[in-house]
Amino acid sequence: MEDDAPVIYGLEFQARALTPQTAETDAIRFLVGTQSLRYDNQIHIIDFDDENNIINKNVLLHQVGEIWHISTSPADKGVLATCYNKTSDTKVMTCAAVWRMPKELESGSHESPDDSSSNTQTLELLCHLDNTAHGNMACVMWEPMGDGKKIISLADNNILFWDLQESSAKAVLSSSAALEGKGQLKFTSGRWSPHHNCTQIATANDTTVRGWDTRSMRQIYCIENAHGQLVRDLDFNPNKQYYLASCGDDCKVKFWDTRNVTEPVKTLEEHSHWVWNVRYNHSHDQLILTGSSDSRVILSNMVSISSEPFGHMVDDDELSDQEDQHQEEKIKEPLQDSVIATYEEHEDSVYAVEWSSADPWLFASLSYDGRLVINRVPRALKYHILL
């Protein structure tokens, strides 16, 4: 089917940072950050025109070091944060800053400049997140559904809560917490939960996953040895407030109920190398995307632990007697979990997978060689979920 064919874009630079433009819910837009040691680093704004199946890009100069992480404001289409390398006196630090893109690029456009090389624009620096006292920045998280004024950054073993003031020109550290104990006390990643009035975050360090209350900055739960090796990424189920997914270097993806963390609710073992990324679909939480160093992207249907374990519920009034009996038989049995599709368009480690914020059936994946692939959920499955 033509409709399900992937669309591939090559950045010509190595890259590992990818994000959808969260505040843009009308146009399909992703941002990619490059990792180049020899050239100025760039942010590629990728607009996907799904009617014509083509990609339009705009390039922004990010005139500091290689980009390790990128995230976008939930409230302002033009604002983003990056974590990047900065070299000073032979020491490399990972810093973080908040930026604004040029006004004319804020909304998804389907116009691509003919000669993009002469058309490179520069990001405007809004503010630095000062980490001199706190160590290397791993990631920056925006408060989900927030006004774009609250962010949390993870730096080495510190959780830093910032208030952006004066139209994001100033970041004020409002509270912080530090990870204490033995072992490797460095955060690798974190996610801000959209539930509980946005007062909880989850963090990963070494093989441990922890939950924190952002009001007291205290730990709420701790999953020690969540994975046999380093935990790489986390994501919250958008519809089930206690459900959390994690993935790591033991090649596994695990699903947790944070009220009882002794055992995972479910484990996926489909990848053959480190799993870098796990993402729940924002609308249909049975759809799970993972990306791995085995160069594959896997789309799984984890329906048994989703918010609709029995599939799409049919209203009794819509059924005839005969159908009614059949429906009753069907309802007793939860649907089976399965791998929907394995995508093999990448030839290098897939460091990032992300769902579009504008189209629930569309996702992007990025491998280290700078290949960005846009794919769709298979049409048959889409109709199966909807109908």
Q: Produce one character per residue of 214-242: b if its CB has 16 or more CB atoms within 10 Å, e if not.
A: beeeeeebebeebbeeebbbbbbbbbbeb
Residues 50-99 have pLDDT tens digits of 899 999 999 999 988 899 999 999 999 999 999 999 887 788 899 999 99
pLDDT at 330 over 70: no
What's the mean per-residue pLDDT of the chain? 89
Pick the more confident residue, 151 or 385. Answer: 151
pLDDT for the residue 202 = 98
Is the pLDDT at 3 greater than 50? The verdict is yes
How much is the pLDDT for 109? 57
Q: Do residues 235 and 191 make contact, with C-beta atoms less than 8 angstroms apart? A: yes
* φ/ψ (deg, to 5) at 268: -110, 130
Greater confidence (143 vs 110) lies with 143
pLDDT tens, position by position, 156-166: 999 999 999 98
The mean pLDDT value for 220-230 works out to 95
Q: Please tell me if the domain spanning 6-103+119-177 has the same topology as the one spanning 180-307+331-386.
A: yes
Query: HSE on the CB side for 96, CA within 13 Å?
Result: 28
Domain definitions of the chain by residue range: 6-103+119-177, 180-307+331-386
38 pLDDT higher than 90? no
pTM of the predicted protein model: 0.90
Question: 6-103+119-177 is classed in which CATH architecture?
Answer: 7 Propeller (2.130)
Q: How do residues 291-301 score in pLDDT, each as one tens digit?
A: 999 999 999 99
**For 308-321, what is each residue's pLDDT tens digit?**
877 664 444 444 55
User: How would you classify the pairing of strands 54-62 and 121-122?
Assistant: parallel
- Phi/psi for 266 (5° steps) reads -160, 150
Phi, psi of 330 (to 5 degrees): -70, -35
What kind of architecture, by CATH, is found in domain 180-307+331-386?
A: 7 Propeller (2.130)
